[in-house]
C-alpha cells in the first residue's frame, strides 16, 4: 500500500500535497464572477487555516473572473472545471495553481493534449475527481456502482494523462456512502502512488455531514491514507475548514491550538461542567498555545485520567482541584473555576 | 482478528452485545439518588434510540436508588461501580442487567468471588472498563502509557474473572487520544474474542467531541471492530445517543430514518441551498421512513450523483428539477421546492 509518506508529491503553489504532508482544502460558495465576494471568502478561509481554495469555473466569464482574483491573492487556487477544456487552458494560463478536471470528459485527445500542455508549462498538477455518481460508463457496466468502478474510472483518466507523459496527478474517489468511499480509497492506494484528496461527497448538513466526514476521512487518515482533505458540507465553507482541521487534530496530523478533554457528566459530577467547559472553550477560542486542557467532573477519572493534560480541573462538591501535569496545585471554589483556569492558561 | 461477527455474545437483559449485533449506550448525567429525574432521563434516552443506559453507583444510597429505579423501568440498566465491591453485589442482586467494574481494583480475591457469584446467579455480564488514565501500575511500568499497557490491563482483569470461571465479559479500552484508542482496540481484537464497548473517553464538548468520536469509533466500526458504542460528550446524554446513531448510520450499521445527502454550495449553485436543506431536514425530523433524500445545488452533480436517492431536487436558476430514482419528474419554482419535497416524501 502507498501510505501518505510514499505518495508522489505534487506542489500547489508552495503547498506540498503528498509525500507525508497533509493539507486542508475548501471551495468557495460564492459565484466566481462576483470577484469581491469571492476574494473576501478566499481570505477568510485562508485565515481559518485553509491551505488551498477551489473555485468553480463554469463559463468564460468565470474564467476571466478567476484571472482577476488570481492577481489579488497569494492563496493557492484550484480551478474546478467540467467538460469545457478551453476553460482549463485559460485558467492554467492565468495562474491557477492546480486544475480539477477529468480528461475523459473533455472530448478528443487534442483537447487533452492542450490542457496537459498548459499545465506542464506552468508546472501545475491536475486533480482527477471521480464521483460515484459520474463513474465512467464502461467501468459501471463492468463493475456496477462500486468502489472498483470508481478506481477503474480514475485509472482511465490517469491513462489518458499518461499518454501525454503527465503524472503530476492528485486523485479523489468520492461517494456519499462512507463505506464505499473508504473502500475505494483503500483499493486505489494499494495500486497507485498518486496523492489522494479525501472527501465524502454530498455529505449533508453541518451535523450529519461532519459525522460522515469524520468517520470516513478519519478512518482513512488513521490508516495512513490521504494527503489533502476537503470536508463537504451544506454550510458556510468556514465550517468545512474548521471540521477538516478538527479531523486532522483527532488523527494526530495537526498539532496546533488548545486541545480540550472534558468528561461526560455522570451522576458523580457535582459541578455544572457543561457550561463550565463551554465557557472556558469560548474564552480560549483562537488562543494559539499548544496546551492540553482537562475539564473533569470528578476525582474518580479526574487528575488520573488527565495526567497528560498540561492543566486541568477536577470537580468536587461545590469546588474543584486545579492540577498541572497530574500534580494537584490547590483547591478552588466552584464560582472561581472558569476565571482561574483562563488566567492560569493565559500565564502559561 | 475477532471481528464483530466472531465475538462471544453477552446479553444485557434482552439486548445482545457481540456476535454481530451493535448497540448504542449512554450514561445518565443525573444523580442516581434523584430517582425521578434519573427515570425521566432513562426514558428519554430510550425513546431516542439508546439500547442500554448506565448509572453511576458511587454509594449505598445510590445503590438503593438503583434498586428503586430498576423496579420502574424495563430499559436495560448497567451499574457503574468503582472500588467498592459491595455496591456491585447489591446492584447485581437488585436487578442490574450488567455491572461495570474492574476486578483488579476491588481488593482481595474473596471480594471478586462475591461479585462473580452475584453476577453468575443473575446471568449478567461484567464490563471491564480500562481507561488510559488508570491503567494497571505493572502494565504502565512495563509498557508506559501505551495501547499495549491498556490491553495488558484488560488481560489482567480478564484473568482475575477467569479464576472464578467467569467469561461473560465486555471490554472497553478508552483513551482521550483517538490514535491510541484505535490502536488499543485493534490490538485487543487480534487477541481476544470478547465483545468490545467502543468509546473515546473525555472526548470534549459537543463539537470537537463528536469529531473525535466519529473518527475513532467510526474507524473501528468500519474495520469490523466494536459491538456497542458510547459517545462521551460534555453535553446532554441525548446528544450522545444522537451522535452514536449517526456514526452507526455512516458506517452502514443502522438503517433507519431519512438519510439526507446534500452538496456543498459552490459557485455553480443558484438557489439558497443551505436554508432549503435545513428547512427540509427540520420538517422531516423524526419521520421514520427509510428514504434517501438528495438536495443538490446544480445539474452538474445533481440527478447523476444522486441517482441512488429515492427522491431529490437539483437546483437551477430560480428553479429546480424534482427527480425520483434518477428520473426527472418535473421542474418546480424555487419558492415551491421545500413544500413540494416535503409533500412528496409525505406521500411516499
CB-based contact B262 A205, cutoff 8 Å: yes
Confidence of residue B154 (pLDDT cuts 50, 70, 90): very high
For range B209-233, the mean pLDDT: 97
Place of cell 501525454: A164
Flag whether pLDDT at A244 surpasses 80. Answer: yes
Flag whether pLDDT at B299 surpasses 80. Answer: no
CB-based contact A264 B232, cutoff 8 Å: yes
Domains and CATH numbers, chain B: 4-250 (3.20.20.20), 259-347 (3.30.413.10)
As a whole-number percent, the residues of chain A with pLDDT over 90 amount to 75
Position B118 scores a pLDDT of 98
Q: What is the 3-state secondary structure (H, E, C) of chain A?
A: CCCHHHCCCEEECCEEEECCECEEEEECCCCCCCHHHHHHHHHHHHHCCCCEEEEECCCHHHHHHHHHHHHCCCCCEEEECCCCHHHHHHHHHCCCCEEECCHHHCCCHHHHHHHHHHHHHHCCCEEEEEEHHHCCHHHHHHHCCCHHHHHHHHHHHHHHHHCCCCCCEEEEEECCCHHHHHHHHHHHHCCCCCCEEECCCCECCHHHHHHHHHHHHHHHHHCCCCCEEECCCCCCHHHHHHHHHHHHHHCCCCCCCCEEEECCCCCCCCCCHHHHHHHHHHHCCCCCCCCEEEEECCCCCHHHHCCCCCEEEEECCCEEEEEECCEEEEEEEHHHHHHHHHHHHHHC
Which candidate from B222, B267, B304 shows the least CB-CB separation from A31? B267
pLDDT, tens digit (0-9, with 9 covering 90-100), for B240-281: 999 999 999 999 999 877 888 888 777 777 888 888 888 888
Which candidate from B201, B232, B235 shows the least CB-CB separation from A274? B235
Flag whether pLDDT at B124 surpasses 90. Answer: yes
For range A18-39, the mean pLDDT: 96
Write the ipTM.
Answer: 0.90
Task: Tell me which of A261, A292, A315, A326 to substitute to probe the interface with B (most B C-beta atoms closer than 10 Å).
Answer: A261
Flag whether pLDDT at A266 surpasses 80. Answer: no
Which candidate from A203, A221, A267 shows the least CB-CB separation from B30? A267
Instruction: Give the residue from B200, B34, B260 showing the smallest Cα distance to A218.
Output: B200
Least confident of A49-53, A284-288, B210-214: A284-288
For range B82-90, the mean pLDDT: 97
For range A177-184, the mean pLDDT: 97
pLDDT, tens digit (0-9, with 9 covering 90-100), for B125-144: 999 999 998 899 999 999 99
Neighbours of A74 (CB within 10 A): 10
CA atoms of B135 and B138, how far apart (whole Å):
8
Position A301 scores a pLDDT of 66
As a whole-number percent, the residues of chain B with pLDDT over 90 amount to 75
Position B179 scores a pLDDT of 97
Residues of B in contact with A234 (CB under 8 A): 262-265, 273-274, 277, 295
CA atoms of A224 and B59, how far apart (whole Å):
46
Q: How many CB pairs under 8 A join A and B?
A: 252
> A204, B258 in Cβ contact below 8 A?
no
Position A307 scores a pLDDT of 74
pLDDT, tens digit (0-9, with 9 covering 90-100), for A37-87: 999 999 999 999 999 999 999 999 999 999 999 999 999 999 999 999 999
Residues of B in contact with A247 (CB under 8 A): 211, 215
CA atoms of B174 and B180, how far apart (whole Å):
9
pLDDT, tens digit (0-9, with 9 covering 90-100), for B163-189: 999 999 999 999 999 999 999 999 999
pLDDT, tens digit (0-9, with 9 covering 90-100), for B318-344: 889 999 988 889 999 988 999 999 999
Position B238 scores a pLDDT of 95
Q: What is the 3-state secondary structure (H, E, C) of chain B?
A: CCCHHHCCCEEECCEEEECCECEEEEECCCCCCCHHHHHHHHHHHHHCCCCEEEEECCCHHHHHHHHHHHHCCCCCEEEECCCCHHHHHHHHHCCCCEEECCHHHCCCHHHHHHHHHHHHHHCCCEEEEEEHHHCCHHHHHHHCCCHHHHHHHHHHHHHHHHCCCCCCEEEEEECCCHHHHHHHHHHHHCCCCCCEEECCCCECCHHHHHHHHHHHHHHHHHCCCCCEEECCCCCCHHHHHHHHHHHHHHCCCCCCCCEEEECCCCCCCCCCHHHHHHHHHHHCCCCCCCCEEEEECCCCCHHHHCCCCCEEEEECCCEEEEEECCEEEEEEEHHHHHHHHHHHHHHC
Flag whether pLDDT at B305 surpasses 80. Answer: no
Position B301 scores a pLDDT of 66
- Whether chain B has a CB inside 8 Å of the CB on A304: the answer is yes
For range A217-224, the mean pLDDT: 98
- Whether chain A has a CB inside 8 Å of the CB on B296: the answer is yes
Residues of A in contact with B267 (CB under 8 A): 28-33, 38, 55-56, 58, 62
For range A142-168, the mean pLDDT: 97
**Mean pLDDT value across chain A:** 93
Flag whether pLDDT at B203 surpasses 90. Answer: no
For range A258-284, the mean pLDDT: 83
- Whether chain B has a CB inside 8 Å of the CB on A167: the answer is no
- Whether chain A has a CB inside 8 Å of the CB on B203: the answer is yes
Flag whether pLDDT at A344 surpasses 70. Answer: yes
- Whether chain A has a CB inside 8 Å of the CB on B334: the answer is no
pLDDT, tens digit (0-9, with 9 covering 90-100), for A326-337: 888 999 998 899
CA atoms of B200 and B78, how far apart (whole Å):
19
Please, which residues 69-108 of chain B have a Cβ atom closer than 8 Å to chain A? Answer: 80, 82
**Stronger pLDDT, A72 or A304, i.e. the higher one:** A72
Amino acid at each position: 500500500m502507498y501510505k501518505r509518506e510514499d505518495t508522489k508529491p505534487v506542489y500547489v503553489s508552495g503547498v506540498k500535497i503528498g509525500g507525508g504532508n497533509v493539507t486542508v482544502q475548501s471551495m468557495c460558495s460564492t459565484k466566481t464572477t462576483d470577484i469581491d465576494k469571492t476574494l473576501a471568502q478566499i481570505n477568510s478561509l485562508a485565515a481559518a487555516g485553509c491551505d488551498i481554495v477551489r473555485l468553480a469555473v463554469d463559463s468564460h466569464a468565470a474564467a476571466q473572473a478567476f484571472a482577476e482574483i488570481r492577481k489579488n491573492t497569494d492563496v493557492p487556487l484550484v480551478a474546478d472545471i467540467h467538460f469545457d477544456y478551453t476553460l482549463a487552458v485559460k485558467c492554467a494560463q492565468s495562474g491557477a495553481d492546480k486544475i480539477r478536471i477529468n480528461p475523459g470528459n473533455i472530448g478528443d485527445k487534442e483537447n487533452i493534449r492542450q490542457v496537459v500542455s498548459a499545465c506542464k508549462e506552468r508546472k501545475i498538477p491536475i486533480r482527477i475527481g471521480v464521483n460515484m455518481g459520474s463513474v465512467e460508463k464502461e467501468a459501471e457496466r463492468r463493475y456496477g456502482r462500486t468502489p472498483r468502478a470508481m478506481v477503474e474510472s480514475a485509472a482511465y483518466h490517469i491513462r489518458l494523462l499518461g499518454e501525454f507523459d503527465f503524472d503530476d496527478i492528485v486523485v479523489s474517489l468520492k461517494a456519499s456512502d462512507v463505506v464505499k468511499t473508504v473502500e475505494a480509497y483503500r483499493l486505489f492506494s494499494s495500486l497507485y502512488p498518486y496523492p489522494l484528496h479525501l472527501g465524502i461527497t454530498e455529505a449533508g448538513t453541518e451535523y450529519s455531514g461532519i459525522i460522515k466526514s469524520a468517520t470516513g476521512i478519519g478512518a482513512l487518515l488513521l490508516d495512513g491514507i490521504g494527503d489533502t482533505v476537503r470536508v463537504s458540507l451544506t454550510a458556510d465553507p468556514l465550517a468545512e475548514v474548521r471540521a477538516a482541521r478538527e479531523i486532522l487534530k483527532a488523527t494526530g496530523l495537526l498539532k496546533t491550538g488548545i486541545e480540550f478533554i472534558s468528561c461526560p457528566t455522570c451522576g458523580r459530577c457535582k459541578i455544572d461542567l457543561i457550561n463550565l467547559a463551554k465557557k472556558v472553550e469560548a474564552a480560549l477560542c483562537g488562543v494559539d498555545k499548544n496546551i492540553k486542557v482537562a475539564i473533569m467532573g470528578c476525582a474518580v477519572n479526574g487528575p488520573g485520567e488527565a495526567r497528560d493534560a498540561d492543566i486541568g480541573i477536577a470537580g468536587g462538591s461545590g469546588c474543584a482541584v486545579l492540577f498541572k501535569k497530574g500534580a494537584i496545585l490547590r483547591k478552588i471554589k466552584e464560582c472561581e473555576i472558569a476565571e482561574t483556569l483562563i488566567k492560569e492558561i493565559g500565564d502559561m
